[in-house]
Amino acid sequence: MTDAQPTESERSYNGLPGAFPYAIRSSESLLFKGYVVVATLLTVAIALIFTFGLIGVLAGSSGARGGTFTFSRTFFLFVGLLVVAPLLAPVLLVARRHRRTASSIAYDRGLALSALGFVASLYVGLIISVPPALQESTTSRVVMALYELPQLAGLVPPLLAVGLMYLVHRLLR
């Protein structure tokens, strides 16, 4: 029996789409494997929402010339990227780590937990940023407290979660 090293084609994953199955195959953490599925579904859903939103923005500004309207279209795509990138980052980091070195199960779990925290922070940020005209009456004190915050404060939970994700990556690598 020979101990042949895996070839480079067996160890690599050929870009973003291949990173997802590679990360699932190479990780021993069930929590991380579950996160890969959640990240895939959320990324597809968010991409569809932003695609349809962009179509709406384009339709609403079709007769306008450049300037502010061009900036709003670009900013819309930029915000979509800022939402999707932290969802994809843990999958890419774990796939890269498994490809280059022997990754630990603690690293995979830590990134999965911090990434799930990011998903929860997106929800909290969305609650905070709901316009007053669309807020529903509720008996939940937590939701009412979140409604009372300024809408710009909706950026804080996702930013904190991304910072936490970065710290977990740095500490466990």
What pLDDT, in 10s, does the model give residues 22-54? 888 888 899 999 999 999 999 999 999 988 888
Under 8 Å CB-to-CB from 87, ≥6 apart: which residues?
Answer: 39, 42, 43, 46, 115, 118, 119
Kindly state the helix (H) or strand (E) to which residue 70 belongs, with its residue range. helix 68-100
Please, what is the Cα angle at 79 between 155 and 54, to 5 degrees?
Answer: 135
Nearest to 128 by CA among 161, 157, 154: 154
Q: What is the pLDDT, as a whole number, of residue 122?
A: 94
Taking a C-beta distance cutoff of 8 angstroms, is the pair 169, 91 a contact? no
Which residue is associated with the tokens 């843990």?
90
Q: What is the pLDDT, as a whole number, of residue 3?
A: 52
Q: What is the pLDDT, as a whole number, of residue 8?
A: 45
Under 8 Å CB-to-CB from 117, ≥6 apart: which residues?
Answer: 161, 164, 165
Under 8 Å CB-to-CB from 111, ≥6 apart: which residues?
Answer: 32, 35, 90, 93, 94, 165, 168, 169, 172
Under 8 Å CB-to-CB from 140, ≥6 apart: which residues?
Answer: none
pLDDT band for position 19 (50/70/90)? confident
Integer Cα distance of 73 and 65 in angstroms: 12
Provide mean pLDDT across the span 134-148. Answer: 92
For 110-139, how does the pLDDT look when each residue is reduced to its tens digit (9 = 90+)? 999 999 999 999 999 999 999 999 989 989
Nearest to 108 by CA among 20, 31, 12: 31
For 77-108, how does the pLDDT look when each residue is reduced to its tens digit (9 = 90+)? 888 888 999 999 999 999 888 888 877 889 99
